Amino acid sequence: MAIRKIRELGDPVLNKKCKEVTEMTPRVQELIGDMFETLYEAEGVGLAAPQVGILKRIVVIDTTGEDPILLINPKLLETSGEQNGYEGCLSVPGKSGKVTRPNYAKVIAYNENMEAFELEGTELLARAICHELDHLEGHLYVEKVEGPLVDAADLVEDED
């Protein structure tokens, strides 16, 4: 496995629609391993294949650091509710912006054995699913930001 270079805002690959994965190959397996390694090294929550320059419909997510999720060819089945909060992206380093997303998301995708499964998520997981699926369509969160982008370091989490 290897750490891959994360493409940043302005790189044309980030604005292209990804192609479906038709079979699990050693190259796809290697890409998935590299994506998880890159995600953890960058201390991110999610990473889509175009963020490492590969136009394949593959997403890796881990909202806890202990629960890796792989989505191959994910399709959004259902969303509901609404949440509004600051969102960042490994392809837009150091910046955050307020984005409204569904508070619930349900997808169907394939696992590493190309077996279909459904995944449901709320709150942060729902946000991550929607954010990463946008990448597969060539969209970044900055297109949805309500107000200005801010320096992520300036954000202080609310303490309840």
This prediction's pTM = 0.94
**104 exposure class (CB count in 10 Å sphere: 0-12, 13-18, 19+):** middle
| Distance separating alpha carbons of residues 142 and 77, to the nearest angstrom | 24
**96 exposure class (CB count in 10 Å sphere: 0-12, 13-18, 19+):** buried
Residue pair 126/63 in contact (Cβ under 8 Å)? The answer is no
β-bridge mates for residue 100, sequence order? 84
What is the pLDDT at residue 156?
A: 60
Whether 132 is catalytic: yes
- Set 30, 78, 132, 157: catalytic member: 132
CATH architecture for residues 12-154: Alpha-Beta Complex (3.90)
Percentage with pLDDT > 90 across the chain: 92
Mean pLDDT for the stretch of residues 100-112: 98
pLDDT confidence tier of residue 1, bands split at 50, 70 and 90: confident
- Residue 36 makes CB contacts below 8 A (sequence gap 6+) with 1, 60, 62, 68
What is the pLDDT at residue 159?
A: 40
Please tell me the number of Cα atoms within 13 Å of 86 on its side-chain side: 15
Give residue limits of the domains in the chain: 12-154
